[in-house]
Structure 1
Amino acid sequence: MTPSSLPRASLLITVLVALLPMLTLTVGWGSGLFYLLAFVCLCLILTAPAPHWLQQLHPYRWLMLALCLPLAAVLLSQALNGHLEGPGIERGLRVALGFPCLLAGFLLIDRDRLRHFVWGVLAAGIGSTAIVCYLAGPTLERPPTPQFNAVGYGNLMLLMTVLTLYSLGWQLTRHPRAERALKLAVAAITCLGFVLTQTRTGWMAIPVFAAIGIALAGWLHRPMRALAALLGIGLVALAIGASSPALRERVAQGVQEIHECVTVAPTADTSMCIRLQLWGAAWHTIKQSPWSGIDGESTFSDKLRQLAATGQVSSFVARDFGEPHNDFLLALATNGVPGGIALLILYFAPAGLLACRLRRNVPQAQRVAAAMGLAVCLGFAVFGVTELMFRGMRTVSLYVTLIALFTALSAPGREQTTASTPR
């Protein structure tokens, strides 16, 4: 790698990273773009001196090893069940190999330029909101969103809103006021699109995002101010949600559906009762095979049909649903306890590293990146309680790319590494 080629590589990788969220939420090309980005990073690594990029990766050896556990859990489950399934292995490989490859590439390029990926987040917010508004129509009905169902789509839109708000801590242009106004406007527009999806469960992540924002603002050492800010954000979120009659109706309907499902109609084909049936089926499966799992989503569909024959789930659930609408329960059901542990590590291993980088003595630009990465890790953990966020390869690719990106952008600078050990 020559000094003249590094700026071009930095620009190319930044453009590809910026395109990833935008294409994932619009035309669905995120999976292919992930491979292209990984290939470019690999080419950059191969042209760089080995001692240089190996030294860059050295502080993350334990994190990279931990992120190999999802692949190990899949391989163990498949070995115990004597069945080979490609999609599970591919998901594991995207994490185990994709993360170190992307991280090494991101660590080699110019950090100031890489921060400009944020424009892709803004574009993803505007593009997805335009799609939602078009599909909702003048009657503002719940949109049949492309690429993802409305729940997953709304969750990702909320995440784009949060990343846009956190990016206010970065100044990327020579016009700070205009840049700030643009980011605030895009955040408001994307939040509106999220509300139009009528997604109920995404709201559970707002307290988490608010707490991260308060930590980013440096208010944790002032408990009263932090509490007031948290309450204020909660009231604003409540007001925004209450402003949508359709969302209010869906929330009330959800409460009624849960009550009816628990009391009088345990196999009713309503939105919330379907989830309860799927969770019950997953728990039944976990108890049958706690360590080996049943190996694969297709096998879980077979389990649902067996449970439908005994009246434990409805025939509609057995016919039209092949997963439990919960990432953790699916990991436990398909890959056993090792799979559940591996998924928790996928969330919380990078989250622990990024949370440490939110300390007040870390430079602001790096703290912003740490807050963004923490929002991705914890956001996916919360979203995964009521939706299968890792349903497709596109979302796995987006998650892996973002945690590698924010790990690199929050890494200690050269001026810090001589004074302290890498965090």
Structure 2
Amino acid sequence: MRFSPVAASAVALLLLIAPAVNLVWRGGTGYCFFILLAMALYAAVRYRRVDGYFSPLSEYRWFVAGMCGLVIAAFVQQILYGMWLPRQFDAYSRFALAIPIFLMLRQMPSRYFRALGWGCALGALVLGALALAHRPEGGWTDDDRLNNDFTNAIPYGDTALLLAFLAVFTIGWNDGKYRKLATAIKLAALMAGGFSSYSSGTRGGWVAIPVFLVMLGVQYGWFTNRRRLAAAAAIVVIGTAGLLASPRIAQRIHDFSVDITRLHSGDPNSSTGIRLELWRASAHLYSMHPVYGVGKGRLEGAMEDLSKQGFMPELVVNARAHSDFFSTIAELGSVGLACLLLYYYGTIVYFWRKRRSADRFVRTAAWSGLAVSASTIVFGLTIDVLVPIMVTVLVALFTATFLAAIDARERELAAAGGAKPDSPTPLR
């Protein structure tokens, strides 16, 4: 299969738009995703007899298994439990549907994948501008947190932070005479997306920041000598001190300590207290249904029963456990936990193997993919990342595209007869 310049440009445009509109156009990322899926299904039918088109299904078997495991587990559970809740397949299905998109994208010339990095930068810049434009008098507070009309502040802030850092992770794709300008724009996107996340007050997602910084340091060689290490450490220390001194961060840290105090006094009605109660209830439900859980989509009903039994306060009852881990073990049991871990492994292993590639393009795609996987795990500690469709469709598209970028670039290098790849270039 060969992409025509028109088709490749159309795909690149969709990859640019998809992340850029995720938080500003309800369903926008999904529209881009399904257009890509339609193109991918057409390509799969047209090129079904072409040797090697479907070979990645075996070559990347852990990726395929990880992307399919959760939706298959939910489907089998509904058969075994005699239930039919088709909406419970919705979010998980995006991962499986990303597989044909991956098969198509790997056929595209690697230079077109740069559009995805610019989409992340554009999205972060727009979100930063919106945070400034809509900033209320006196600034954003816990009572007036930045979000939009189709999601809440937590996934909003987490997604803004991911877009901001992906803009920097993909700086390695910048080349040519405008490289310095492109780098400056993406660093501005980091600041803009970071400000948007800061304005949302999503403290759980901020745990990912040191993880991202360490990953960036390894990717761009900040730790290769003492001078770079000292410079990077100084920037991190100064930046951290500035953030901790800001009223917004200080207030959120104070709120956490107050939440813990209230919980110890028997009052769970706080952000932290509610989460801990939900996790305790989920663990209890898992102990009662260890194999296949209470049923996906039945968590709220099961928690209501626990509330009636006096095991948990009624005000805490929720349809989600505010954690991918606890929601999964409660709803899908050990089977679901195995599929969740398989998803994590399948979306990490191939990026991990390519993180030290001598080719700058491959290395950038690998670290970007790892950033998406790491964010899914870290964000999922305190919120259900794998539930909102606007999040799962974006994560699925990111994972499939970065892996396709690696595969496409490596095949280009192989076709060129093992041409010497770009040498590692530290970000200065």
1:23 is matched with: 21
Does residue 241 (structure 1) correspond to residue 238 (structure 2)? The answer is no
In the alignment, structure 1 residue 396 sits paired with structure 2 residue 392: yes
Please state if 1:141 is matched with 2:137. no
Partner of 1:99: 98
Q: 1:259 aligns with which of 258, 261, 283?
A: 261
Q: Which residue does the alignment assign to 2:126?
A: 127
- Offset, 1:350: 1.9
Residues 184 and 343 of structure 1: is their aligned pair in 2 closer, same or farther, counting only changes over 3 Å?
Answer: same
User: Closer, same or farther in 2 for the Cα pair 1:56/1:6, shift >3 Å?
Assistant: farther
Q: Shift of the alpha carbon at 1:173?
A: 5.6
Deviation at 1:70, TM superposition (A): 1.1
Matches within 5 A, 1:9-408: 9-29=7-27, 30-48=29-47, 50-55=50-55, 57-96=57-96, 98-142=97-141, 143-146=145-148, 147-171=150-174, 174-218=177-221, 222=224, 228=230, 231-232=233-234, 234-261=236-263, 263-265=264-266, 267-297=267-297, 299-318=298-317, 321-359=318-356, 361-408=357-404
Q: Is the Cα–Cα contact under 8 Å of residues 120 and 163 in structure 2 kept in the other structure?
A: yes
The one-letter code sitting in structure 1 at the alignment partner of 2:9 is L
Distance 1:141 1:99, change over 3 A: same
Q: Give me the whole-angstrom Cα distance separating, in 2, the residues matched to 1:235 and 1:333.
A: 40
Partner AA of 1:188 in structure 2? M
Q: CA deviation at 1:130?
A: 2.8
Change (3 A) 1:230 1:114: same
Q: What letter is aligned with 2:338?
A: I
Q: How far is 1:149 from its partner?
A: 1.5
Supply the distance in 2 between the matched residues of 1:241 and 1:172 (Cα, whole angstroms): 32
Tell me the CA shift for residue 114 of structure 1.
2.0
TM-score normalised to the size of structure 2?
Answer: 0.88
- Asked whether the 8 Å contact 2:66–2:344 carries over to 1, the reply is no
Closer, same or farther: CA 230–290 of 1 in aligned 2, 3 Å: farther
Alpha-carbon distance in 2 for matches of 1:410, 1:70: 25
Distance in 1, Cα, partners of 2:175 & 2:232: 28
Task: For residues 369-420 of structure 1, give each alpha carbon's deviation from its aligned partner in whole angstroms, at most 9, with x where no partner exists.
Answer: 1111000001110000001112222211111110011101122233247769
Gaps of 5+ in 2: 420-428
Question: Alpha-carbon deviation of 1:105?
Answer: 1.2
Unaligned residue ranges in structure 1 (runs of 5+) = none
Instruction: Render the CA deviation track for 1:126-156: whole Å, top value 9, x for unaligned.
Output: 2222333344413212425123211111111
- Aligned pair in 2 of structure 1 residues 134, 306: CA closer, same or farther (>3 Å)? farther
Question: Aligned-pair distance for 1:122?
Answer: 1.5
> What SS is found at the alignment partner of 2:281?
helix
Alignment check: 8 A CA contact 1:214 1:229 kept: no
1:104-137 per-position Cα deviation (integer Å, ceiling 9, x unaligned) = 1111111102212222112211222233334441
Superposed CA offset, 1:55-88 (max 9, x none): 4554223421343211222123223322122123
The share of aligned pairs that are identical, in percent, is 23
With over 3 angstroms needed to count, the CA separation of the structure-2 counterparts of 1:193 and 1:62, relative to structure 1, is: closer
**One-letter amino acid of the counterpart of residue 9, structure 1:** A
Secondary structure, counterpart of 1:140 in structure 2: coil
Matches of 1:225 and 1:149, distance apart in 2: 42
**Structure 2 CA distance for partners of 1:313 and 1:114, relative to 1, 3 Å:** same
Q: Is the 8 A contact 1:327 1:387 kept in 2?
A: yes
> Relative to structure 1, is the Cα distance of residues 231 and 332 closer, same or farther in structure 2, using a 3 angstrom cutoff?
farther
Q: 1:41 to 1:252 in 2, by over 3 A?
A: same
Work out the CA distance in 2 between the residues paired with 1:131 and 1:304.
Answer: 38
How many residues align structurally? 410
Between the aligned partners of 1:110 and 1:243, the Cα distance in structure 2 is: 47
Q: Distance in 2 between matches of 1:273 and 1:87?
A: 29
Q: TM-score, normalised by structure 1?
A: 0.89
| More divergent stretch after superposition (137-146 vs 223-232) | 223-232
1:45–1:281 CA distance, 2 compared to 1 (3 A): same
**Following the alignment from structure 2 to structure 1, what is the Cα–Cα distance between the partners of residues 336 and 234?**
38
In the superposition, relative to structure 1, how do residues 282 and 227 fare at CA in structure 2: closer, same or farther (>3 Å)?
farther
Q: Distance in 2 between matches of 1:330 and 1:132?
A: 31
Q: Which residue of 1 aligns with 2:424?
A: none
Q: Residues 17 and 37 of structure 1 are in contact (CA less than 8 Å); yes or no, is this contact kept in structure 2?
A: no
Q: Secondary structure at the match of 1:50?
A: coil
Change (3 A) 1:227 1:89: same
- CA–CA distance in structure 2, aligned partners of residues 110 and 46 of structure 1: 21
Distance 1:132 1:295 in 2: 39
Q: Which has the higher helix share?
A: 1
Bigger drift between 106-115 and 45-54 goes to 45-54
Closer/same/farther in 2, CA of residues 90 and 190 from structure 1, 3 Å limit: closer
Distance 1:224 1:290 in 2: 50
What amino acid does structure 2 have at the position aligned with 1:21?
Answer: P
The answer on whether the counterparts of 1:118 and 1:167 sit within 8 Å (CA) in structure 2 is yes
Q: Once the two structures are superposed, what CA deviation does each residue of 1:207-250 show, in whole Å capped at 9, x if it has no partner?
A: 22122112212456x48678657744642442242242022111
CA distance in 2, matches of 1:193, 1:173: 30
Q: Are the structure 2 counterparts of residues 414 and 175 from structure 1 closer, same or farther at C-alpha, using a change threshold of 3 Å?
A: closer
CA distance in structure 2 between the aligned counterparts of 1:121 and 1:102, rounded to whole angstroms: 19
